[in-house]
Amino acid sequence: MTDELLKVVVQKREMQAEAVVALDLVDGAGNALPAFEAGAHIDLHLGDGLIRQYSLCGDPENDKVYRLGVLKDPSSRGGSVAVHDTLLEGTELMVSKPRNHFPLTTDAKHSILIGGGIGITPMIAMAYELSKTNQRFELWYCGRSSATSGFIDELKSAPFSDKVHFHFTADHGGKRLNLDAVLSGKSEDSHVYVCGPTGFMEWVINTAQEAGFVDQSIHREFFNVDVEKGGNGFEVYAQESGITVTVKEDESIADALKAAGIKVQVSCEQGTCGTCLCDVIEGIPEHRDVYLTEDEKEDNDQMTLCCSRSLSDRLVLDI
């Protein structure tokens, strides 16, 4: 549950829209950074234990730069505000090596990339990778307006610009993209990738399912969800540490373990990123995350500690 960290420096910072900042992170000595695949993200260590994950949106072939796009969220829990306020050009920080929970499917005949708002960021890296390998794809960028949407100029000048479609509701009388038309007749040979606000993603996922796409062909990455809070108390035995804790009704497993001196790395605190994923040895988890697939949840052999709870009186965890 821990990763080797890299020291990087903010080489370039630019405002892409009213509240979207693009950052280019590089090795201070000019060395190559660990490679990444499209869909990958890195953890930014922002000080005082604050860790947040952001998708890499640059060309995966460029091993010198980790490029990010971060929206300053008015309901931020500290991460995006810290990025906007403190990560100036020349600032050094620690980041994780890239991890990918949102990879491209290698055997897809056709890919439909749909980004809502700042959810466009992983789609840009995917478009670069698909373009370099001459695979069929289309990229749909949805948002409220061009004034609030970043990376527009970059996408218009990209080598795959002919595959990019913009739909800003302010330009269409407040109407959403005609997603039925986008997905019509494509369920047999296409895969859908979606990232964005929760409501937007649920709309895309539900529409794709209604259009005949099977779940294995619908790929998603949530970055912000409403997590159910609280529940009945239960006992957790941390087998590797040899410590038993009682998780209170209003407490997370992660917080209960940390209070007992057990190191638990968390990031999103909403069950979206998998940073706190832990193996379950005994007991039945109550899964409240969106990180694990439905099949993985049914196996009940792993769980997220930041938000999930227990259906049994006792859990035994490998930590």
C-alpha closest to that of 222 among 152, 308, 148, 292: 292
Task: Say what the pLDDT of residue 77 is.
Answer: 67
Q: What is the dihedral of CA 68, 73, 76, 78, to 10 degrees?
A: 40
Q: Are 233 and 246 in contact (CB under 8 A)?
A: yes
Whether the full predicted model's pTM is greater than 0.85, yes or no, is: no
CA pair distance 262, 319, nearest whole angstrom: 8
> Cβ atoms within 10 A of the Cβ of 161, count?
13
Which whole-number Å values give the CA distances from 269 to 224, 260, 294, 296, in the listed order?
Answer: 10, 19, 20, 19
Q: For residue 111, give the H/E element and its range.
A: strand 110-116
Considering the four listed CATH numbers 3.90.1150.10, 2.20.28.120, 3.40.50.2300, 2.40.30.10, the one that applies to the domain covering 5-96 is 2.40.30.10
Which position has the token pair 């979206």?
A: 272
Q: pLDDT by residue (tens digit) across 240-299?
A: 999 999 999 999 999 999 999 999 988 778 787 788 999 999 999 999 988 887 888 999
Which CATH superfamily is 234-317 part of? Beta-grasp domain (3.10.20.30)
Task: Say what the pLDDT of residue 225 is.
Answer: 62
In the chain, where are the structural domains located?
5-96, 110-222, 234-317
Query: Helix, strand, or coil here: 58?
Result: coil
Task: Say what the pLDDT of residue 270 is.
Answer: 79
Task: Say what the pLDDT of residue 227 is.
Answer: 67
Q: Which residues of the chain have pLDDT under 70?
A: 1-3, 75-77, 224-227
CA pair distance 45, 267, nearest whole angstrom: 10
110-222 topology per CATH: Rossmann fold (3.40.50)
C-alpha closest to that of 243 among 233, 223, 231, 258: 258
What does the angle CA 129 – CA 133 – CA 134 come to, to the nearest 5 degrees? Answer: 115
Which whole-number Å values give the CA distances from 152 to 70, 156, 165, in the listed order?
Answer: 15, 6, 10
